[in-house]
Amino acid sequence: MTLLIGHPSFLEHDTGDFHPERADRLRAVTAALADEEFAGLTRLVAPAATIEQLTRVHPRNYVDAILGIRPPEGELVHVDGDTVMSAGSANAARHAAGAVIAAVDGVLSGSTRTAFAAVRPPGHHATPDVPGGFCLFNNVAIGAMHARAAYGLRRVALIDFDVHHGQGTQAVVEPDPDLFYASTHQYPLYPGTGSARERGVAGNVVNVPLAAGSGSAAFRAAWGDRLLPALDDFTPELVMVSAGFDAHRRDPLAQLDVETEDFVWLTEELLAIAGRHARGRLVSVLEGGYDLAALAESVSAHVRALMRA
């Protein structure tokens, strides 16, 4: 069984006209997952994350600052050059983190093996104390810390195939040898981090930067030769995925030229490792993906693979 988690507030996070991280992204995903073939999904409305849950990753003053940004209806506040908040953004961000927490609850309680949190705003660029890259709270890291606090898990892997490096997630993982972070990402590209030399406190960070135009063969080789073996060696108790689909060849913000079938292949490989070490428990969280048709197609293929697990 696969759990699908969302919340109406995600559409109320208004980023303004022509912003790439717009509500139409989630509308496209929601429409695709409304197809009859996805009738077997268990659907859940996300709760709001509590302050305690948010502050396992972010300092209290940061949490209060983000939740306190509530401009009047119709107005926008830029928290950095490309990260925007509207009247509904703080509530959406709280429910986005809550969606991942609910996904973790689902897989660790045994009610489901896999879960997909269809959220916005995304999260992997948010460091503990700095928002950016369209991200406010680091949703996947908050979920990982919840798995530890509520269920006593120790070894959690955070896997990131978004085309942009998740420097926020890496910042949480780097000092903790019982967390693991693996990423492919286009380089050079925002945020300019993710060198292969960045290894974490115990070799628990593995980055494979890829050049523009690398395509399917290089993407699969990076995962098959470097990242998946390292994940296997880590023996995670839970696999969490920052599922960004902006490496797709049709995406307007990057040029990595990955195909939909590559996401399916990688999803199946991650599920196999989760099956070996984590009782099949895998939580996937939506990050990037900015061509609406490619995003809907890729998410559908990814969720279809989760449902087969």
> What is the C-alpha to C-alpha distance for residues 273 and 209, in angstroms, rounded to an integer?
22
Taking each continuous run of H as one helix and of E as one strand, the counts in the chain are 10, 10
Which of 58, 95, 124, 125 is catalytic? The answer is 125
Nearest-10 Cα torsion for 63, 29, 156, 216: -130
> What is the C-alpha to C-alpha distance for residues 11 and 272, in angstroms, rounded to an integer?
34
Range list of β-strands (E), 61-202: 77-78, 84-85, 114-117, 156-160, 179-186
Which residue in this structure is represented by tokens 């460091």?
A: 127
Catalytic (active site) residue 125: yes
Cβ atoms within 10 Å, residue 140? 34
Helix 23-32 and helix 292-308, axial crossing angle in degrees, nearest 10 = 40
Structure tokens at 42: 């268990």
Structure tokens at 128: 């503990």
Range list of β-strands (E), the chain: 2-6, 42-45, 77-78, 84-85, 114-117, 156-160, 179-186, 205-210, 238-243, 282-286
> What is the C-alpha to C-alpha distance for residues 38 and 29, in angstroms, rounded to an integer?
12
Classify the phi-psi angles of 36: left when phi > 0, otherwise alpha if psi is within -120 to 50, otherwise beta.
Answer: alpha
Counting Cα atoms < 13 Å in the Cβ hemisphere of 100 gives 35
Please give the distance of CA 239 from its chain centroid, rounded to a whole number: 12
Catalytic residue numbers read 125
